[in-house]
A and B are shown apart, each in its own frame.
Chain A
Amino acid sequence: MTDEKKITCIVCPIGCKILVKIDGKHFELVDGNKCKRGIDYAISEALDPRRMLTSSVLVKNGEWPLVSVKSSKPVPKNKIVSVLNEIKKASVNAPVKSGQVVLNNVADTKIDIVATKSIKK
């Protein structure tokens, strides 16, 4: 079965509306992209949509109660909820260094959750 899909590109601020056809694993560009980067985005969005994930993790004994975190790589969209649930359960002891891995292989995605801020004791 062939699906037609309109994808808004999120690579740059223009936000092109790109029309694609998908048939299982087969991808066909129809129209709408203003540049080449749009094609790459449309392919990944059509076949394996992913998003960078940012949130925060509880800090124990720190000068702030939370540390901001991000995923080390874009997370498959269908895994976002389970990754968020792991993040909510996690906690870390101060001090925290920016770049420190807070969660390893989160929700079996082979993706890490990394602190994006340093928190002193």
Chain B
Amino acid sequence: MVEHGRKMINLNADVAIIGGGPAGLAAAISAHENGAKNVIVLDRNSWLGGILPQCIHDGFGVEETGTSMTGPEYAEMYIKAARKKGINFMNETMVLQFDKNRKIIAVNKKGLHEIKAKSIVLAMGCREKTRWNIMIPGDRPSGIYTAGVAQAFINLYNIMVGKNVVILGSGDVGLIMARRLKFEGANVLGVVEILPYASGLPRNVVQCLDDYDIPLYLNHTVTYVKGKERLESVTIAQVDEKMNIIPGTEREIKCDTLLLSLGLIPENELSKNVKIELDDLTGGPIINQSFETSLSGVFACGNCLQVYDTVDTLSMDAKVAGENAAKKSVKQNKFINVKAGKGIRYVVPQRINEPGKIHFTLRVEKPCESPTLHVISDGIELLKKKLPWANPANTVEFDIDISAEVVKYKDLEVILDD
């Protein structure tokens, strides 16, 4: 380490990974396995594994390893593997910015660091939507927590958040927290979901709500929060198909805690700073088949790319990103776009610049029984696939061999017929 005029600590890396959660760990291991000798992982927490240590429930790793693990176990498996390979970890280190030449400025208690990286992998994860993402009117009392924050307090810090709890949003975190709070003696008064179906997996509805007789209010939302100091009550109301509140259906529920499980937003402030192109639909960077962003030599994976259903598929994708980061990047001047057509919320990757077998991930717009997936390029159907079912809560994955011919000039469109 050399100090120069601006008093920076200088480092070099073959691959620098921003974020030491599951995506960063998987990418680091894979980059190392694929020839990158000097891999540095930068993480702002004092621990590794990101959100996993607070996800103490099981169900992780089933698709990937065939056994069901808890979050901390899954994290420990990757941390051990990474340490064995001699990957450098810099904890309690915050990346302040990086530039087009992949020079990273990071800070920790030792001082400012300037890290010159041959490749960068973005693995910053995501943040939770708050009350203000959906503008719930009313008072501003204490007792309103996002589900993940409550999970951290209960599972990591030994702090209980409240006694009588209403949960808004039936995503998996909301469902898991309903059971967790019940286990800790709280009175869980209900889970409120604006959609006509639960957003989380059916198995979580069964083992987190049904098992403990926790009511699920579908087609409902919270319309008002009351409480001058601590939360005193929430008002819930039914909504119609257009999600407008049906007058007269309002009902006040006395409670001291409201947990919000409203969905996740990919964290991309660093990407925005360096003008990496983002996809409005995923909230993450636009990538090609190699997980490379619009900025050459910068790759993206994990929940900052797209919000994954399971850590298994997240890790598998992150390994591909890490592998590519260890190799030389493909010239990006020519590419075709992959468009999300009818019935599709988004598709990843959004761009292709090299032929070959390409793995796609997509999310549908609404639940449907036995729909058909079509991938079309210039009027030619490249793929037609019947799906048993489709649900926005579960990503759909498929592979296509993309020929050099297609990559030359024809955009792809993905559509879903129900």
Chain A residues packing against B (C-beta within 8 Å):
8-15, 34, 51-52, 54-56, 58, 64-66, 68-70, 77, 84, 98, 116-118
Q: Known: A56-B56, A64-B156. Is A84-B203 also a contact (CB below 8 A)?
A: no
Q: Are the C-beta atoms of B202 and A66 separated by less than 8 Å? A: no
Q: Range of interface residues on chain B? A: 20 to 34
**Chain A: CB-nearest residue to B391:** A13
Q: How far is the CA of A30 from the CA of B72 in the complex (A)?
A: 39
CB distance from A34 to the nearest CB of B (A): 7
Contact of B156 among A13, A15, A66, A70 (CB under 8 A): A66
The answer to the question of B388 belonging to the interface, with a C-beta cut-off of 8 Å to chain A, is yes
Known interface pairs A14-B202, A34-B388, A68-B71; 16 further A-B residue pairs with C-beta atoms within 8 A, sorted by A's residue number: A8-B206, A9-B203, A13-B203, A13-B309, A15-B205, A15-B206, A54-B56, A65-B157, A66-B158, A69-B56, A98-B76, A116-B69, A117-B72, A117-B73, A117-B76, A118-B76
Q: How far is the CA of A56 from the CA of B154 in the complex (A)?
A: 9
Q: Known: A65-B157, A65-B158, A66-B156. Is A8-B56 also a contact (CB below 8 A)?
A: no
Q: Known: A55-B56, A70-B58, A116-B72. Is A10-B207 also a contact (CB below 8 A)?
A: yes
Main secondary structure of the interface of A (DSSP, over half): loop
Q: Known: A13-B202, A77-B211, A84-B183. Is A68-B155 also a contact (CB below 8 A)?
A: yes
Q: How far is the CA of A30 from the CA of B309 in the complex (A)?
A: 31
Q: Are the C-beta atoms of A15 and B56 separated by less than 8 Å? A: no
In the A-B complex, the 6 residue pairs with the smallest Cβ-Cβ separation, listed nearest first, are A15-B202, A10-B203, A117-B72, A68-B56, A65-B158, A116-B70
Residue numbers in B under 8 Å from A64 (CB-CB): 156
List B322-380 residues whose CB lies under 8 Å from chain A: none
Q: Are the C-beta atoms of A51 and B207 separated by less than 8 Å? A: yes
Q: How far is the CA of A116 from the CA of B205 in the complex (A)?
A: 24
Q: Known: A52-B68, A116-B56. Is A10-B183 also a contact (CB below 8 A)?
A: no
Q: Are the C-beta atoms of B183 and A55 separated by less than 8 Å? A: yes
Residue numbers in A under 8 Å from B57 (CB-CB): 54
CB distance from B148 to the nearest CB of A (A): 16
Q: Are the C-beta atoms of B76 and A8 separated by less than 8 Å? A: no
The answer to the question of B409 belonging to the interface, with a C-beta cut-off of 8 Å to chain A, is no
Q: How far is the CA of A84 from the CA of B186 in the complex (A)?
A: 13
CB distance from A104 to the nearest CB of B (A): 20
Residue numbers in A under 8 Å from B53 (CB-CB): 68, 117
Q: How far is the CA of A9 from the CA of B205 in the complex (A)?
A: 11
Q: How many A-B residue pairs have CB under 8 A?
A: 72
**Chain B: CB-nearest residue to A17:** B202
CB distance from B84 to the nearest CB of A (A): 16
CB distance from B348 to the nearest CB of A (A): 19
Residue numbers in B under 8 Å from A58 (CB-CB): 158
Q: Known: A54-B58, A55-B183. Is A98-B206 also a contact (CB below 8 A)?
A: no
Residue numbers in A under 8 Å from B69 (CB-CB): 116
The answer to the question of B394 belonging to the interface, with a C-beta cut-off of 8 Å to chain A, is yes
CB distance from B48 to the nearest CB of A (A): 12
Residue numbers in B under 8 Å from A68 (CB-CB): 53, 56, 70-72, 155
Q: How far is the CA of A52 from the CA of B69 in the complex (A)?
A: 11
Q: Known: A13-B202, A15-B201. Is A66-B155 also a contact (CB below 8 A)?
A: yes
List B153-185 residues whose CB lies under 8 Å from chain A: 155-158, 183
Q: Are the C-beta atoms of A14 and B72 separated by less than 8 Å? A: no
CB distance from A24 to the nearest CB of B (A): 23
CB distance from A56 to the nearest CB of B (A): 6
Q: List 22 A-B contacts (CB under 8 A).
A: A8-B202, A8-B210, A13-B203, A14-B388, A15-B202, A34-B388, A51-B207, A52-B58, A54-B56, A54-B57, A58-B158, A64-B156, A66-B156, A66-B157, A68-B70, A68-B71, A68-B155, A69-B56, A70-B70, A116-B70, A117-B72, A117-B76
Q: How far is the CA of A51 from the CA of B68 in the complex (A)?
A: 13
**Chain B: CB-nearest residue to A99:** B73
Contact of B70 among A13, A14, A54, A77 (CB under 8 A): A54
**Chain B: CB-nearest residue to A14:** B389
Residue numbers in B under 8 Å from A12 (CB-CB): 203
CB distance from A92 to the nearest CB of B (A): 13
List B85-100 residues whose CB lies under 8 Å from chain A: none
Q: How far is the CA of A117 from the CA of B210 in the complex (A)?
A: 29
**Chain A: CB-nearest residue to B393:** A13
Residue numbers in B under 8 Å from A11 (CB-CB): 203
Q: Are the C-beta atoms of A98 and B203 separated by less than 8 Å? A: no
List B375-408 residues whose CB lies under 8 Å from chain A: 388-389, 394
Q: Are the C-beta atoms of B205 and A8 separated by less than 8 Å? A: yes
Q: How far is the CA of A4 from the CA of B403 in the complex (A)?
A: 54
CB distance from A14 to the nearest CB of B (A): 7
Residue numbers in A under 8 Å from B394 (CB-CB): 13
Residue numbers in A under 8 Å from B155 (CB-CB): 56, 66, 68
